[in-house]
Structure formats: C-alpha cells, structure tokens
Amino acid sequence: MRRLGLLVSLLVAALITTGCGTQTDEVNVYSARKEALIKPLLDRFSEQTGTTVNLITGSADALVERMKAEGEHSPADVLITVDAGRLYRAQQEGLLAATSSQELDRQVPPALREPEGRWFGLSVRGRVIVYAPDRVDPANLSTYEALADEQWADRICIRSSDNIYNQSLVASLIAHDGEQATREWAEGLVANMARDPVGGDRDQIKAVAAGDCDLAVVNTYYLGMMQADQDDETRDIAHRVRVFWPNQDGRGIHVNISGAGVAANAPNPDNAQKLLEFLVSDASQQWYAETNHEYPVRPGVPTSELLQSWGEFKQDDLPLVKLGELNADAVKVMDQAGWK
C-alpha cells in the first residue's frame, strides 16, 4: 500500500509539472494598441518560439481598471499601451513588475524606459508641427514655445486638454521651462487657436488641409498612416501638409512612445520578458517603422522611405518617466489656461 501511495504521489507530481509546463508555453497580452498594429508581431513571436499569445485589446484606462479588479488573480502577463504617461499610471497603481533584462537595458535607451524596468519603450513618435505650405513660411516656425506668439493668432488647431499626448507635451514643457512659463505659454496657445479643440490628430491634419487653420500639433505616425493610406483622398489630404521639427536649435522635438511592461501578477513572467525582448529586436523594430510609421527606439535601425522623406531631426532626451510625474501639474496648467 505504501508503494502504491508513493506511485500515486509521483504521478500527481508529474501531472502538475506537465500542467505548469503547458502554462509556460503561453503569454497573455493586454493591449491598448489596435489589433492590426500589434498582432502581426505577436504572430511572428508565436511562430518563432512556439509560445501561444492570447491577446485582449481595449482602451488603456479600461485595461488598467480590469487589471486592478482582477488583482493577484489577473491572467495578464504583459500590458502594452501608448504614451509614457499611461505607463506611469499603471506603474503607480502597482500593476507592473520590475524586470531585470540585460537585453532590454542594452536595446532601449535609458530615457525611453522606466529606471527600475517596470516599462520599456517599443516605438517612438514625435509630436510635431504640421503646416500648410501655401500659407505658412517654415522660416517663421521655430519652437513649441513660439506657438504662443501673436503671429499665430486664430491659426492653430490642436486636440483637447484631456488628450494624454497633449498632457505629456505640456509636462515636457514644465520640465524644461517651469510651471509659470508653461502656464503663460498655454494661455497664449489657447488665444491662438483657430477653433475649440475637436477630434483626433487626423482631424487636425484634415483641418489644416481644408484651410480651417494654418498649422497643427500632431503625432508623426498619424500623418504617416494617412500618407500611406490605400484611400486616394486620404493620401491627398495628408500630402497637403508638411512636417516641421520644433526646437532643433535647442533640446529637440518632444517624443513619446508605445511601450510595455510585465504585469506584477504575471503567471508567465519568463515568457512575458521574452516577448518584450522580441519586440525590440531588429526585425520587430523595422516592422514598426515600415508598417506603423513609428520610429524605432533603437538608434541605427533603418526607417521607411516615407519617414526618411520628412528628413532627420534631433529629439529631446528628457527621461519619459518625467511625463508621468508631471502629468497632474500639466493638467492643472491646461485647465488654468482655459484649454478645453
């Protein structure tokens, strides 16, 4: 009987071990990126590693709330989202684990990752000025700060103050110029708006093309997607504007990221880390540039002909964690300035 009991115990242990092995052959991804902008890479990861990727998509806020509600029983292994401000929020909620990876530290520049390894940039986009070349002389453009000048009265389109991309831009200005100077800048920008903020970045580009305003502040990848769109009208609209890189004589353009972190309660943390390392590999970084029209986080990785056509630029090396740390101050400044 004792031998039979021992055999049963060994069999149960073997079954448990097998079950655990099956679990480690998968990774569960919560992504705030649209499926088309991330799934092809996840499929490549599965093909190369044999690891099954279970993908759940949704808005960043909804996914964060879901992870909070699920608590320690959350199946999430990886959270992928856009904007360092959102990643910082997830970090502050205790939803992301500190990840130690020599590969991630080597491939992702320090400014584009959280110092303790709670999140890492996967791709870069610049928040730039686009303008109508028939109505704006680029020689009159210079910095973000100069958008508050009187010459731009009733000529600027930009998204609302509740947009995280604008909040992060304002946070970067606070980091560089101080809160008082940024508040004065925001007041000047609001006074120069051609209309109350409405719509997304694509809508701002369309407004410039239609003559509703002469310039707008947008993320580069929105313009890239429009210029590469299969629809002739969309491409035509996007090619009516030009890109201007602000602050090139100083700190460089404000950049932000799409990024990811390993979930604090990840059931498959090893696979989660391997996925992040895969997403900063040469092939993945080139895919971002060719397909999503985003810039690689890694210097030296080739970009698409479309991105190259806009020219080279200098980018701000402000650590992006500051965008999260100063988000509340940015929101306050925008509210005080009357930015709707």
pTM flag (> 0.95): no
**Length of the chain as a residue count:** 340
Residue range 247-270, pLDDT digits in tens: 999 999 999 999 999 999 999 999
Contacts 24+ apart (CB under 8 A), 281-290: 281/107, 283/44, 284/41, 284/44, 284/122, 285/123, 287/40, 287/41, 288/122, 288/123
Alpha-carbon distance 222 to 216, whole Å?
Answer: 12
Alpha-carbon distance 36 to 81, whole Å?
Answer: 14
Report residue 137 as tokens. 């002389």
**Which domains are present in the chain?**
27-124+255-303 (3.40.190.10), 126-254+313-336 (3.40.190.10)
Q: Choose among 165, 123, 144: nearest CA to 252.
A: 144
The pLDDT, as a whole number, for residue 1 is 42
The pLDDT, as a whole number, for residue 71 is 95
Strands 156-157 and 215-219: parallel
DSSP H helices in the chain: 2-23, 39-49, 60-70, 84-92, 102-107, 164-177, 179-191, 201-210, 220-227, 232-238, 269-279, 282-287, 305-309, 321-325, 327-336
User: Is residue 295 part of an annotated ligand binding site?
Assistant: no
CA distances (Å), origin 39, targets 31, 53, 117 = 10, 9, 24
The pLDDT, as a whole number, for residue 87 is 96
- DSSP helix/strand/coil, 74: coil
The pLDDT, as a whole number, for residue 24 is 56
> Is-contact 255 92, C-beta < 8 A?
no
User: Is residue 221 part of an annotated ligand binding site?
Assistant: yes
Alpha-carbon distance 128 to 254, whole Å?
Answer: 8
The pLDDT, as a whole number, for residue 21 is 41
The pLDDT, as a whole number, for residue 277 is 97
> Is-contact 64 89, C-beta < 8 A?
yes
Report residue 287 as tokens. 């895919």
Per-residue pLDDT of the chain (340 residues; tens, 9 = 90+): 434 343 333 333 333 333 344 445 999 999 998 888 899 999 999 999 999 999 999 999 999 999 999 999 999 999 999 999 999 999 999 999 999 999 999 999 999 999 999 999 999 999 999 999 999 999 999 999 999 999 999 999 999 999 999 999 999 999 999 999 999 999 999 999 999 999 999 999 999 999 999 999 999 999 999 999 999 999 999 999 999 999 999 999 999 999 999 999 999 999 999 999 999 999 999 988 888 899 999 888 888 899 999 999 999 999 999 999 999 999 999 999 999 9
Alpha-carbon distance 325 to 218, whole Å?
Answer: 22
Gyration radius of the chain's alpha carbons:
23
The pLDDT, as a whole number, for residue 15 is 33
Backbone angles phi, psi at 189, to 5 degrees: -65, -45
Backbone angles phi, psi at 80, to 5 degrees: -115, 130
Burial of 26 (0-12, 13-18, 19+ CB in 10 A): middle
